[in-house]
Amino acid sequence: MQFELMASMMCANYGHLEKEVRDLEAGGIASFHIDIMDGRYVPNYAMSLNDMRYIAGATAKPLDVHLMVEHPNTRIGLFLQNLRPNDTVYIHPEAEYHPSTTLQAIIDAGMIPGIAINPGTSVETVMEMLRIVKKVLVMSVNPGNAGQMYLPYVGKKIIKLLALKEDMDFEIYWDGACSADKIMEYAPKGVQGFVLGTTLLFGKEASYGETLQNIRELRF
């Protein structure tokens, strides 16, 4: 069983960011997940454009940029010009009047288009966008803070998306409160990847390489 593991970089040690990137890369992380928050769409600030630019220049691994910002179309160019082909950019459909326009800008720049679905957003409201995107990031917590509790009703949403993904040609990724039991339950069902934060990856005694290997082998 193959699935991707992504590092939630807002949980990294910013006093030693270069070492964190290097150690995660050596440990076999699939990609670096970058949370950009504007303090408006979500009541918090997280990583900056400069953080994203630094990590993009420090690794050959892909970046997954999660834009938790109001009206991303007004500033999408700032992010796209500092990313590489085949990096992923996720937007929240609720944050944009015309999200398909923003998604098209991502496609035109050679990036992978994605949407992030909040716990309170139904599959039905984003159905047409599922035909445009290649990745769907399912939020199992409300966006804006690390270390939140899993919202159980999100599981039913993932089951709906799994039934649609083959026909509409997208992959499903899990973000928020990603624990061992969630990977063991949803990876076999077809969830393609999991964003790892403090629950499984950061702040552990074992090295990133050992931790990631244990997760891949479902040894918890």
Determine whether 35 is an active site residue: yes
DSSP type of residue 47: B
Per-residue pLDDT reduced to its tens digit, 28-69: 999 999 999 988 888 888 899 999 999 999 999 999 999 999
Evaluate if residue 22 carries a pLDDT over 70: yes
Check if the beta carbon of residue 165 is closer than 8 Å to that of residue 56: no
Q: Does 153 score more than 90 pLDDT?
A: no
Which of these is catalytic: 35, 51, 64, 87?
35
Q: Which domains are delineated in the chain?
A: 13-21+32-177 (3.20.20.70)
- Determine whether 51 is an active site residue: no
* Residue 180 confidence (pLDDT): 93
What mean pLDDT is reported for the chain? 93
Q: Per the confidence metrics, is the pTM higher than 0.75?
A: yes
- Res. 74: pLDDT tops 60: yes
Q: Report whether pLDDT(173) > 80.
A: yes
- The pLDDT confidence band at residue 144, using thresholds 50, 70 and 90, is low
| Partners of 38 in beta bridges | 45
Structure confidence at residue 145 (pLDDT): 58
Distance, in Å, from the CA atom of 106 to the CA atom of 104, rounded to the nearest integer, reads 5
> Which among 51, 64, 87, 175 is annotated as catalytic?
175
Please tell me whether residue 111 adopts helix, strand or coil conformation. Answer: coil
Q: Is the predicted pLDDT of residue 135 greater than 70, yes or no?
A: yes
Q: What are the tens digits of pLDDT across the range 193-218? A: 999 999 999 999 999 999 999 999 98
pLDDT of residue 177: 82
